[in-house]
Structure 1
Amino acid sequence: MSVRLLPLSVLAGAAAAVAAVAVHQWWWGAVLAVVAVLAVVLCTPAGWATRLPFGAAYAGVTALVSTTRGEGDFLVGSTATGYVVLGLGLVVLLLCVATLPRPGRGASEPDTPVSPGTR
């Protein structure tokens, strides 16, 4: 089921990054971007097909728009709010990787250890 959410998660991450870049010029836009993106990351279930694609798409789009445009200027300038957006991309990606679920044991193994004499 969660694999079906992968394209939606990538699209949501890219859309969140575009929206954050669009409003980061104003102080309230940067605050709104931080709060909204962190809320989405924390509300999305941790997983390889849910939270991680969101974070990777967000970080990828913010890295892509931080490069020089053809005219020689930047979409994300070297201002405090610009650094907030770029730093948020790194924080989101780190948070998504750090909260990945640990590889679980197989379904045939019990969750709790059984002492030798209780079977």
Structure 2
Amino acid sequence: MLRAAGLVLLGAVVGAASVLVHGRPVGLTLAVVASASAAWALPGGWSTRFAFVAGWVAVLGAALVPRSGGGYLVGANAEGYVLLGLGLGLLLLGIVTVRPLRPSDP
């Protein structure tokens, strides 16, 4: 359980960094490479890869809420759409690679 909480926190940190640096091409490249490689390196499962992805996507979801000044952290431009696509891809990777809870399940 502690490992899952740590991976949710790690996913949130990587997601926050990705949201903050995605505005420049080098930052977007770093965000994609770091997020995808971290998610792929973790073994599939509820308390491993899915926990990391859940933290990452939660931060992205929070960043999509309008700010008090009327702006957004993720803009409606190419970089923003790539970041949203990355979030969707990570979420699909996290869901599809979850192992069954019982080994006898097909």
**Alignment TM class, shorter chain as reference:** over 0.9
SS in 2 for 1:101: coil
* Alpha-carbon distance in 2 for matches of 1:65, 1:73: 10
SS in 1 for 2:44: coil
Match of 2:61 among 60, 63, 72: 63
Q: State the shift of 1:5 in Å.
A: 0.7
The aligned amino acid for 2:88 is L
Match of 2:85 among 84, 87, 94: 87
Q: State the shift of 1:87 in Å.
A: 1.4
* Alpha-carbon distance in 1 for matches of 2:49, 2:63: 22
Please, which runs of 5 or more residues in structure 1 have no aligned partner? 107-119
Match of 1:27 in 2: 25
Q: State the shift of 1:4 in Å.
A: 2.7
Say which one has the larger Rg: 1
Match of 1:105 in 2: 104
Alignment of 1:41-52 (within 5 A): 41-52=39-50
* Paired positions, count: 104
Q: State the shift of 1:43 in Å.
A: 0.4
Q: State the shift of 1:7 in Å.
A: 1.0
SS in 1 for 2:88: helix
The aligned amino acid for 2:104 is R
Q: 1 or 2 for the larger relative contact order (CA 8 Å, sep ≥6)?
A: 2
Q: State the shift of 1:13 in Å.
A: 0.6
* Alpha-carbon distance in 2 for matches of 1:72, 1:4: 38
Pairing 1:37–2:18 present = no
Pairing 1:76–2:70 present = no
Q: Which runs of 4+ in 1 moved over 6 A?
A: none
